[in-house]
Structure 1
Amino acid sequence: MSGETELWGGKVERSPDGLTYSRVAKVTGVSVPTLTKNTRQRTTLDSPAKIHEYGEGFAEPGDLSISCLYTAEGFAAAKADEARAGGTYYRITLASGDAFDCRMITPVVEVAGLDQLDADATFTLSGKTSGETEFTAAA
């Protein structure tokens, strides 16, 4: 369908410093972190009609999740991300050129698919991001 975008044809990259990126291999899926805006209850004795009042609070930056087919090299790179102090930067670029940039600070690597004979071994790198996910529209 015209105007729709999918991950196929795009790429996911990682960087230890946010400057130099290398491709994450064999990506099968990725979730872009969702910003969750929190509220604070600000009800007082002066609130009209006994109705709660709210104001804006801090926002939660969300989690990033990257799923990959297992390769020894890919798994080793994910474990290096997991061990890196200060987090790892990731860039998700769609085939259209639109890009999402974020920094994951608490990555954890989980292996799956080893409990079945007829299944692909996979791993997922997931964790909390810090700061807002930046969106850059295609040029």
Structure 2
Amino acid sequence: MMSDQFILYGATVERSTDGTTWEDIPECKSIAVPAVETDYQEATSLDSPDGFKEYVKGLKDAGVISLSCGYTPAGYEQQLSDQAETAAIYYRTTLPPAPSQSSGDVFEFRGFPTPQPEGSDVGGIVGMTISIRTTGGVDWTRGTAAGA
């Protein structure tokens, strides 16, 4: 049986202010896919069975994620403009297709970006990290199966 794993090369990370017109984030070196965590609220009472703590599910949060990019003046300008927006920015990450797929999985979410240029040394490439404070849920759409 052949593995269904694949490399990241060919993925895209896009942004939009309206959720309709999408534009690539230039020079991305990583992908933006939030991990949703759920808070658990302690609900232990005097009659909790056998002295064990009890919990109930609380609110969910996709947290803050970091997107690694190469710095370009156009990319930095794009991110500064997005940071100045009042409403959350739409993000879409499309993975390359797995060997069993004809199109890759898609992740969509919203968030507030903070760009930060960075460099490591005099001979290194100038990079940029975009910290995205997510808001709301994360939608996942499975890619189309090969031959479908």
Shared fold (TM-score greater than 0.5)? Answer: yes
Provide the C-alpha distance between the structure 2 equivalents of 1:86 and 1:52, rounded to a whole number of angstroms. 40
Report the AA paired with residue 121 of structure 2.
Q
Report the AA paired with residue 130 of structure 1.
T
The Cα of 1:64 is off from its aligned counterpart by 2.9
Q: Aligned residue for 2:105?
A: 98
Over the residues paired in the alignment, what is the CA RMSD in angstroms?
1.4
Q: Aligned residue for 1:64?
A: 65
Provide the C-alpha distance between the structure 2 equivalents of 1:82 and 1:54, rounded to a whole number of angstroms. 37
Structure 1 pair 92–2 and aligned structure 2 pair: CA distance change class (3 A): same
Q: Aligned residue for 1:80?
A: 81
Unaligned 5+ segments in structure 2 are 98-103
Q: Is the 8 A contact 2:12 2:31 kept in 1?
A: no
Q: Aligned residue for 1:111?
A: 117
Report the AA paired with residue 102 of structure 1.
F
TM-score (norm 2): 0.86
Q: Is the 8 A contact 1:63 1:129 kept in 2?
A: yes
* % identity of equivalent residues: 34
Q: Deviations over 1:50-86 (max 9, x none)?
A: 2111111111122232211111111111111111111
Bigger share in strand? 1
Provide the C-alpha distance between the structure 1 equivalents of 2:95 and 2:115, rounded to a whole number of angstroms. 24
Q: Is the 8 A contact 1:6 1:94 kept in 2?
A: no
Provide the C-alpha distance between the structure 2 equivalents of 1:15 and 1:4, rounded to a whole number of angstroms. 29
Unaligned 5+ segments in structure 1 are none
The Cα of 1:17 is off from its aligned counterpart by 0.9
Matches within 5 A, 1:8-47: 8-47=9-48
The Cα of 1:94 is off from its aligned counterpart by 0.7
Q: Is the 8 A contact 2:114 2:130 kept in 1?
A: yes
Q: Aligned residue for 1:127?
A: 132
Q: Aligned residue for 1:5?
A: 6
Provide the C-alpha distance between the structure 2 equivalents of 1:4 and 1:42, rounded to a whole number of angstroms. 41
Provide the C-alpha distance between the structure 2 equivalents of 1:56 and 1:69, rounded to a whole number of angstroms. 39
The Cα of 1:5 is off from its aligned counterpart by 2.7
Provide the C-alpha distance between the structure 2 equivalents of 1:102 and 1:2, rounded to a whole number of angstroms. 29
